[in-house]
Amino acid sequence: MDQARKTILVREWIIFALSIGLGGHVALGLVLHDPSYTQDMGWNTVFIGLFLYVLFQALRSVYLAIRSRRVKPDS
């Protein structure tokens, strides 16, 4: 595996881990505001984290698409 591929995999893993961590913080906030969420906190963490990961990837794709349209080839 070449260095560029490793860099991409590490970057994606970091984004995923941060998304799951942020999902955990959101789920903890839900529990602190309404303690009835305590029993489902683990699943809330996973689903909120995955939602945030998908949202981040979608926003990143939109950003890259807009950025690639702005770049003009040298003529």
Using one digit for the tens of pLDDT, what is the confidence trace for 43-52? 878 888 999 9
pTM over 0.85: no
Q: Where are the domains of the chain?
A: 3-70
Question: At 37, is the pLDDT very low, low, confident or very high (cuts 50, 70, 90)?
Answer: confident
Please tell me which of 22-26, 31-35, 37-41, 55-59 the model is most confident about, judged by mean pLDDT.
55-59
Block residue for tokens 């003009």: 72
- State how far the Cα of 46 lies from the Cα of 52, in Å rounded to an integer: 10
- State how far the Cα of 53 lies from the Cα of 49, in Å rounded to an integer: 6
- Residue 69 tokens read as 């349209």
Residues of the chain by 3-state class (helix, strand, coil), percent to 5? 90, 0, 10
